[in-house]
Amino acid sequence: MNQSINEKIKDDLEEELYLFNTGEHFDSYLIMGCKQENYEGKVGFRFTVWAPNAKNVGLVGDFSDWHIGIEMERIGKTGCWTVFSEQAVEGQCYKYRIERSDGTVKLKIDPYALEFEVRPNDASIVKDLPKKKWKDGLWTANKKRFSIYERPLNIYEVHLSSWKHHEDGTWYTIPELKDELIPYVKKMGYTHIEFMPLMEHPLDASWGYQLTGYYALSSKFGTMEEFQDFVEAAHLANIGVLMDWVPGHFNRNDYGMVYFDGTPQYEYADKNKAENNRWGTMNFDLGKNQVQSFLISNALYWIEQFHLDGLRVDAVSSMLYLDYDIGEWTPNEDGSNHNKVGVEFIKKLNKKVFERHPDLLMIAEESTAWSKVTKPVHMGGLGFNYKWNMGWMNDTLKFFEMDPLFRKNNFNLITFSFMYTFNENFILPFSHDEVVHGKKSLMHKMPGDRYNQFASLRTLEAYMMVHPGKKLNFMGNDFGQFLEWRIHEGLEWRSLDDEMNAKHLHFMESLNQIYKTERALWEVDHQAEGIQILDVDDAETVLTFIRKGKKPRDFVVVICNFVPVERKGYKIGVPFEGLYEECLNTEMSEYGGVWVKDQGPLKTVKETTDQQDYTIELIVPAMSVLILRPKRIFGVPKN
């Protein structure tokens, strides 16, 4: 290659690589990996890779000898290597030939590659960033108008390749999902789609959580351009798009990032810290500057290049603790188990993301009692703005799986969440983890015969919707699929031929629309002012409360009956005189219950009940949730 071109490349990269090595380059994908360039009229691709302890690095591929390849040159003391090739053409395969200090040679993928071969092949593919002209400016502008905390957030969690299959067993392509999934989500009333990991991974059984290519949409799903078009179409339909992201650990397949240059490069040097035995993966060395540049750039890459509305950050606990589920572990010098570099990395990640995108969702999947997960970094927190409420999910499902006969003696499983629900900004998740590996589907968890199972499932879903916190439901929960989730098959859509499943789907659509309509169910989700507990009756297994919006008139009254016993002449206190109406009765026949009409306008009487000045008397159906809203009330303060 022309010497002047080679020197120009080095000069162009020197300052950028300084930032990369200090952990402060948050767009490192723009300089690393494979990039199309024009040097003095010569058009080709520049390849740049970080391999600080390699003896030599070569570029091998379809455009060069796969055994020897093109020799790459060190860029000073940056630890990086580069070469420019006029022969490289978009769509060709390549790898890096890494000669280690002991003379052994490994062919390695490009950690920054934007595309890979379809499995079982694993080479990186020559590709530059697409230059899309986005049309979702109105969606982006509207996000900035209102705080995310004061908006409805109801997420539909999807595993892309098992949502729906064709008759021949093939899954839907991204363009097909654009035409079917987005209209379905819009009709059902969800606000966001959350995809399980979409990045390149070799094993379906990992569900996408053991990644090899962090910057590449998995080739089995489709192309970058197709996914960009999907997100744009979702935004035009007023649907947000989120994605699971896995910064804690990476795939240990030999051709990937593991011991990339022959030494612990992306992983910790300490084997006890490096090896994630539970997942069969390697843990990123989160204290290493270059790893921070790689990972924070990756988060921003998916947010900015694909216009994602947020990331659900997987396995946060494994980054916070040295001893989290890994077997042998090495404590800190003071004997403590907190991963100090992991904590600082998480804070840095969230600070950098929110500096650029303050309206984004950064959601922690964190299963311990670590405090201030959703508090800003400057207030001593980790800096996320949401956290999955795993405690609420575990207690609630344990309660609902019980025979109703035993529920009154375990009512604390329902009531305990109100002791901590405002400690963090919570999302209430019924996720993929709860309907796999023998745990049964939500429908199958419910006790009793088929009728009672659906009655319990409606009660469960409605209870989630009225409890403080944002919402997440995994695909299949929406129509009461009986079989647990199976990754190699589509959902049991044929179940909708059954009247009960079809009615449950209609129920979920109605419930989601009620949630979006009633401001009281989302406007004051994260402060105690958003709920007033009326009565917690352990003996009757009934829970009643008022959910409140910002304005005094924006409220609903909730009655949760957790056993299959009808309550006649039930009295509940309400704050204002007037008429109330049923917003929801989960036992209506249109949803699969036995009630054919509602109870009509409910008129108050002047009687103190539940510390309220007025009382309504009504029938509470067996195993149900009732939501009452004011129809015509008096004495409401103007402010």
CATH of the domain at 112: 2.60.40.10
Which residue, of 495, 518, 541, is where some domain finishes? 518
Co-location of 508 and 551 in the same domain? no
Q: In what order do the strands lie in the sheet with 80-85?
A: 33-39, 42-50, 80-85, 73-74
Average pLDDT over residues 155-173: 95
Quick one: pLDDT at residue 638?
81
Q: How many domains does the chain have?
A: 3
C-alpha–C-alpha distance, residues 388 and 150, integer Å: 17
339: in domain: yes
pLDDT in tens, 171-230: 999 999 999 999 999 999 999 999 999 999 998 888 889 999 999 999 999 999 999 999
- pLDDT of 142: 92
The domain boundary residue, chosen from 488, 518, 548: 518
pLDDT digits (tens, 9 = 90+) for 551-573: 999 999 999 999 999 999 999 99
pTM of the model: 0.96
- Helix (H/G/I), strand (E/B), else coil: 627: strand
Query: Considering the domain boundaries, does residue 259 fall inside one?
Result: yes
Task: State the average pLDDT over residues 358-379.
Answer: 96
Domain CATH code at residue 610: 2.60.40.1180
In the block, tokens 């997987």 appear at 314
Tell me the average pLDDT across 493-499. 97
- 150 is a domain residue: no
Name the 3-class secondary structure at 267. Answer: strand
**Predicted confidence band at 5 (pLDDT cuts at 50, 70, 90)?**
low
What pLDDT score does 119 carry? 86
pLDDT reading at 459 higher than 90: yes
DSSP letters for 384-432: -SEEE-HHHHHHHHHHHHS-GGGGGGGTHHHHGGGGTTTSS-EEEEE-G
Give the chain's length: 639
Report whether pLDDT(639) > 80: no
**AA identity, residue 446:** M
d(Cα 314, Cα 138) in Å, to the nearest integer?
A: 30
The answer to whether residue 299 is domain-embedded is: no
Instruction: Say how many C-beta atoms besides its own lie within 10 A of residue 419's C-beta.
Output: 9
236-291, pLDDT tens digit by residue? 999 999 999 999 999 999 999 999 999 999 999 999 999 988 889 999 999 999 99
- Asked if residue 393 and residue 331 are part of one domain, the reply reads yes
pLDDT of residue 1: 47
Q: If DSSP states are collapsed to H, E and C, what string results for 36-93?
A: EEEECCEEEEEEEEECCCCCEEEEEECCCCCCCCEECEECCCCCEEEEEECCCCCCCE
Residue 466, pLDDT > 50, answer: yes
Query: Are 534 and 514 found together in one domain?
Result: no
**471 Cβ partners below 8 Å, 6+ apart?**
153, 154, 155, 427, 428, 464, 465, 515
Catalytic residue among 261, 365, 484, 525: 365
Residues 14 and 46 in one domain: yes
Q: Domain check: are 479 and 592 in the same one? A: no
pLDDT at 633 over 70: yes
Average pLDDT, the chain: 95
Digit-coded pLDDT (tens) for 570-597: 999 999 999 999 999 999 999 999 999 9
Residue with tokens 């589907």: 441
Query: Is residue 63, in this structure, part of any structural domain at all?
Result: yes
Band the pLDDT of 320: cuts 50, 70, 90.
Answer: very high
Tell me: pLDDT of 4 over 70.
Answer: no
Letter for the amino acid at 97? R
Mean pLDDT for the stretch of residues 458-475? 98
- Both tokens of 145, joined, read 């108008």
Residue 47 confidence (pLDDT) above 50: yes
Q: Is 314 a catalytic residue?
A: yes
Q: Mark which of 496, 518, 540 sits at the end of a domain.
A: 518
DSSP 265: S
**Residues 597, 490 share a domain:** no
- CA–CA distances in Å: residue 559 to residues 82, 482, 544: 66, 27, 5
Q: Evaluate whether 211 touches 246 at the Cβ level (below 8 Å).
A: yes
Q: What per-residue confidence (pLDDT) applies to 15?
A: 87
In a domain, 149, yes or no: no
Annotated catalytic residue: which of 314, 424, 525, 582?
A: 314
598 plus 576 within the same structural domain: yes
Q: Note whether residue 181 is domain-resident.
A: no
Q: Do 251 and 386 share a domain, yes or no?
A: yes
Tens digits of residue pLDDT in 89-133: 999 999 999 999 999 999 999 999 999 999 899 999 999 999 999
Do the bridges between strand 426-430 and strand 555-561 make them parallel or antiparallel, or are there none, so unpaired? unpaired
Whether residue 639 is contained in a domain is answered as no
Question: What CATH number is attached to the domain comprising 367?
Answer: 3.20.20.80
Q: What is the structure's pLDDT at 325?
A: 75
Distances (CA, A) of 27 to 145, 244, 294, 352: 27, 20, 9, 11
Q: Please, what is the angle between helix 499-517 and helix 174-188, to 10°?
A: 70
Does 615 lie in the same domain as 508?
A: no
User: Are 562 and 609 in a shared domain?
Assistant: yes
419 in the same domain as 540: no
Section 28-33 average pLDDT: 97
Are 164 and 118 in the same domain?
A: no
| Structural domain for 480, as ranges | 157-172+192-209+243-290+314-518
pLDDT attached to residue 424: 98
